[in-house]
Amino acid sequence: MTLDVPTLFFVSTLISLLMAVWVGLMALGKPRNDSLWSWFAALACYCAGNMLVALRDASTPPPLAIIVVANSTYALALALMLVALRRFQDAPLNRWHVLLPVLAAPLVLGGALAISAAARVYATLLVYGGQILLLLWTLRDRAHPIAGRGRFLLQVAYAVLLLILVGRTGLVAGGWIEPANLIRNSPIQAIIFTVLSCAVLSLSLGFVYLSMERAEQRYREMAMSDVLTGLPNRRAITEELERCVSRARRDGELVGVVLLDIDHFKRVNDSFGHQAGDVVLRSVAQAVRSRLRGHDQVGRFGGEEFLVVLPGADLNGALAAAESLRQTVESSPVRWGAQSIAVTVSVGVRGGIVTAAETADTLVGSADAAMYQAKQSGRNRVCAAGDGVKTN
C-alpha cells in the first residue's frame, strides 16, 4: 500500500480543523481566559500553518515571506498550547516563555533560510524543540500538578513530536530526505506524516480528556460538599466514617465519633432571620474545623448538626476533643449587624474500640443518643455514650 503524502497532509489538517471546531464548541459560554479558548486558538494556528505550508509548496519558487509566516504560525500554536496548560493549572504564566519563541521564530528561521533550506530545518529543531521541552516541563511541574490520564497522553504526544523533529533533522543531515519540500511524496515522508497526524490528534484528545476529568472531579466535589458551609455533606462524611470503621475493625484501631447540634437554632432563625442562621452555621463550621487535627474529618450531617470523625481516639480523647469544640463555639459569638448572637452546642461522644457487631450507623446512633442526653441535661455540654453526663 502506497501512502500519498499530500493526502495525508490534507487529512491531518482536516482532522485538526474539526478538533478546533469541537474544542471551540466546548468553550462556548466559558470566560475568554478559559484554557479551552487558548487550546482552540492553538489548533486554529496549527491549521493556518498547514494551509500556508501547502500554499508554499504549491509555489515555484516558494515565497520567502510565506515560509517565514508559516513557521512562525507553528511557533504561535505551541505558545498558545503553553498558555492553555498554564491556565488549566491556574499557574502563573511567564510571558517571555510565550513571546520569545513567537518573536524569535521569524528572525531565526528567516535567517537560517537565507543560508540554506537545511539550515532552516536545524533552526526549526531549535525553536520548536525548545517549546516542546517547555511544554513537557509544564506537564511535570510539581508546584502545579496535573492529575489524570489526559496528562499522560499529552506527555507521550509531545515526546513523539520532539522525536519527529529530531529524526527529521537527522534525516536531512544524512541526505535521506529533501528539506526544501515538506509534503513531497516519499516513503519516509509518508511515515513522518502518519506519526505526526497521530501525535497531533492525541494532543487534542489529551487536552479534551483533561478538561473532562477536571469537570468530573468538580461535579464529584459538588456532589460531596455542603454548599453553605463548604464542609463535606452527609453522604461524604458518612462514607468517611464507614472507611474509618472498616479500617478500625481490620487493624484493631480506635475511633471517636462526635455529634454536635446547635442549641436553639430555630430561635436564631425566628429572631434574626434565615440569613443570620446561615451565618451561624458557617461560623460553627469554621470554628469546628479550626480545632481538628489534620487527619480528623468534619461534615454537615444535616440541618444544624455536625458529625466529627476522630481516627485513633479513645473515649477520653474524644471527650477532650469534644469539650474543646464546645468551648471554641461558645467563645465565638456571631456578629449580625450591630448585634452579637451567642451560639452554643450540645455534643454527644462515642469513642474507643469498634467491635465486630458495630457499624457506622450504630456509632452515630450512640453519639446521637448521648447528644440527646446533653440536650435534656441543659444544653451547652458534652455527654458520652453510656457513661453519664460530662458538664462544662
Beta carbons within 8 Å of 390's beta carbon, 6+ residues apart: 319, 323, 381, 382, 383, 384
Classify the C-alpha dihedral 30-33-36-37 as positive or negative. Answer: positive
Spatial separation of the C-alpha atoms in residues 67 and 275, rounded to whole Å:
64
Q: Which three cell numbers stand for residue 296?
A: 480528623
Residue ranges of the alpha helices (H) in the chain? 5-27, 35-58, 64-88, 95-115, 117-139, 149-173, 187-223, 234-251, 265-272, 274-290, 315-330, 360-376
Q: Using the 8-state DSSP alphabet, how is residue 263 labeled?
A: T
- Type of residue at 56: R
Spatial separation of the C-alpha atoms in residues 342 and 330, rounded to whole Å:
7
Q: Check if the beta carbon of residue 126 is closer than 8 Å to that of residue 100.
A: no
Q: Check if the beta carbon of residue 321 is closer than 8 Å to that of residue 390.
A: no
**Within 13 Å and on the Cβ side, how many CA atoms surround 226?**
24
| Residue 213 appears among annotated catalytic residues | no
CB count within 10 Å of CB 242 equals 15
Q: Check if the beta carbon of residue 285 is closer than 8 Å to that of residue 229.
A: yes
Q: Which of 216, 304, 305, 330 is catalytic?
A: 304
Beta carbons within 8 Å of 161's beta carbon, 6+ residues apart: 128, 132, 196, 199, 200, 203
Q: Which three cell numbers stand for residue 32?
A: 475568554
Q: Which three cell numbers stand for residue 289?
A: 474545623
- End-to-end C-alpha distance for the chain, whole angstroms: 86
User: What residues act catalytically?
Assistant: 304
